[in-house]
Chains A and B, each alone.
Chain A
């Protein structure tokens, strides 16, 4: 079973994000993920509005992090959202973005343990488990339970990029959100997720594995590439040297892009983004090209494909292009 999702960054007014989500639901997308950054609109306010205007599509944070939001609050938020959209809520959680966390003076310490304990607490809270939780980082007392009932579990997806976090996603997650776009990176990630699942005594098929990609579609390749450039510039700037080297991207070039971005030299930074960088860090092109690339990604073992920012030069048109010209190649539409 192949699923398709879409990610929105709530930089836009609430009604715009909601408009695009309704459009995605009409076209047959299966999931919508809203990013959780303190400098954008609140993820759960956005999701609650969206839940009111949709009936079928699954929805949740993609992804929240346990450094800024305590896991009991994440559990409370997704459980409350589930009352508005019963059975449709999903919860993406990851370690977050180091740079963003540092802006508010929070160091990203022990990310694996932090995410593991957070997932355990969210599950316990939703299940209203009795007794206390004694983690190394988080503790909850026996009385820290919801005063309201939940009728169903909420699938938890772990956002991951590094080898250990990918294995944790396989060991612990109902799903995994692979933060990559290139088939080689995704293939490697799928193997690590399976390894993590097997080590934990699980069948890897229990894990819904999503490629959470940077995506851009337009009627032709040239138009699709343009909006991908700024997003790819940031990905290149934030990528570890081994990833860059693996894809033939000179580390010095990435370093220069990072400095230009830091100094707000947008023209220099974006001008340095080349075709190889876009092909490495984004799924981008005409509907036919995107269909071919997505088919290749499904061959790696993923079960879910998420179109992330920038989506395309005109978001409404890009969602339509994807829904009308790409989705029918992979699934029967409602």
Chain B
């Protein structure tokens, strides 16, 4: 799955709110959601520059939250009406 392509489909006005909601998942995930240190540092890099809602920032954030808590990620994507992304990140059934 190409996260960057998925993020491109998120309408710009929605990105700020989405990044905050996704970040909450990460901040509340048990044991840090096993986010790899390198990915956590990348997220901090974008956050320091206030770029977590940018395409690159959101791409890394989405990658981390899908690993940390796929169920909550799907619920947030649902709330934002991002059905296509939700389907793309959901594990294939069967």
Flag if A15 contacts B41 (CB, 8 Å).
yes
Chain A residues bordering chain B, tally (CB within 8 A): 13
What residues of B have a CB within 8 angstroms of the CB of A23 in the complex? 47
Q: When chains A and B are docked, how far (Å) is the Cα of A23 from the Cα of B49?
A: 11
The answer to whether A316 touches B24, judged by C-beta atoms less than 8 angstroms apart, is yes
Those of B1-41 within 8 Å (CB) of chain A: 20, 23-24, 27, 32, 35, 37, 40-41
Binding site secondary structure of chain B: helix
Of residues A15, A22, A53, A316, which shows the largest number of chain B Cβ atoms within 10 Å of its Cβ? A15
Q: Are B27 and A53 neighbours in the complex by a CB distance under 8 Å?
A: no
Tell me the A1-36 residues at the B interface (CB within 8 Å): 13, 15-16, 18-19, 22-23, 26
CB distance from A261 to the nearest CB of B (A): 25
In the complex, chain A residues whose CB is within 8 Å of the CB of B45: 53
A283-315 interface with B by 8 A CB criterion: 314-315
Task: Judge whether A16 and B27 touch: CB under 8 Å.
Answer: yes
Residue of A nearest to B28 (CB): A314
B43 interface residue (CB < 8 Å to A): yes
**Cα-based distance from A331 to B40 in the complex (angstroms):** 32
Number of A-B contacts (CB under 8 A): 33
A53 shortest CB reach to chain B, Å: 5
Whether the Cβ atoms of B32 and A16 lie closer than 8 Å is: yes
Among B24, B32, B40, B48, the one with the most A-chain Cβ atoms within 10 Å of its Cβ is B48
* Bound form: Cα–Cα A316–B27 in Å: 8
- Whether the Cβ atoms of A15 and B43 lie closer than 8 Å is yes
Chain A, Cβ-Cβ closest to B40: A15
Q: How far is the CA of A19 from the CA of B40 in the complex (A)?
A: 10
- Please determine whether A15 and B23 come into contact, CB atoms closer than 8 angstroms: no
Q: Which of A16, A23, A315 has the most CB of B within 10 A?
A: A16
Known interface pairs A16-B27, A19-B27, A315-B27; A53-B44 also in contact (CB < 8 Å) = yes
Q: Which residues of B contact A (CB under 8 A)?
A: 20, 23-24, 27, 32, 35, 37, 40-41, 43-45, 47-48, 50
8 interchain pairs (CB within 8 A)?
A13-B40, A15-B40, A15-B41, A19-B47, A22-B44, A53-B47, A54-B48, A315-B27
